[in-house]
Chain A
Amino acid sequence: ILNVEQSPQSLHVQEGDSTNFTCSFPSSNFYALHWYRWETAKSPEALFVMTLNGDEKKKGRISATLNTKEGYSYLYIKGSQPEDSATYLCAFNNQGGKLIFGQGTELSVKP
Chain B
Amino acid sequence: DVKVTQSSRYLVKRTGEKVFLECVQDMDHENMFWYRQDPGLGLRLIYFSYDVKMKEKGDIPEGYSVSREKKERFSLILESASTNQTSMYLCASSLGQGAQYSNQPQHFGDGTRLSIL
- B-contacting residues of A (Cβ < 8 Å)? 6, 9, 31-32, 34, 36, 41-46, 49, 51, 89, 91, 93, 95-104
Q: Give chain B's interface residues, CB within 8 Å of chain A.
A: 4, 31, 33, 35, 40-45, 48, 50, 58, 90, 94, 96-111
The contact of B105 among A41, A42, A49, A98, by CB within 8 Å, is A49
Residue in B closest to A99 when the chains form the complex, CB atoms: B106
Task: Tell me, in angstroms, the Cα distance from A104 to B90 when the chains sit together.
Answer: 15
Q: By CB atoms of chain B within 10 A, which of A9, A36, A46, A98 has the most?
A: A98
B101 touches which one: A6, A91, A97 (CB < 8 A)?
A: A97
Cβ 8 A contact of A96, one of B43, B48, B101, B110: B101
In the complex, what residues of B have CB within 8 A of residue A31's CB?
99, 102
Nearest-Cβ distance from residue B46 to partner chain A, whole angstroms:
12
**CB atoms of B102 and A101 under 8 A apart:** no
Cross-chain pair count, CB within 8 angstroms = 66
In the bound assembly, the distance between CA atoms of A71 and B6 in angstroms comes to: 34
A98 to B49, CA, bound (A): 10
B residues in contact with A34, CB < 8 Å:
105-106
B31 and A97 contacting across the interface, CB-CB below 8 Å: yes
The chain A residue sitting closest to B105, CB to CB, is A46
Q: B102 and A51: CB pair below 8 A?
A: yes
Besides the known contacts A89-B42, A89-B43, A97-B97, 8 further A-B residue pairs in the complex with CB atoms under 8 A apart:
A43-B109, A51-B102, A93-B102, A96-B99, A97-B50, A98-B48, A101-B44, A102-B42
Which chain A residues lie closer than 8 Å to B41 at the CB level? 103
Residues of B contacting A44 with CB < 8 Å? 90, 108
Residues of chain A with a CB closer than 8 A to B40's CB: 9, 103
A49 x B108 contact (CB < 8 A): no
Residues on B with beta carbons closer than 8 Å to the beta carbon of A100: 45
The chain B residue with its CB closest to the CB of A44 is B108
Partner of B103, one of A42, A49, A91: A49
Chain B residues near A6 (CB-CB < 8 A): 42
B45, B102, B107: which contacts A32 (Cβ < 8 A)? B102
Q: How far is the CA of A97 from the CA of B102 in the complex (A)?
A: 7
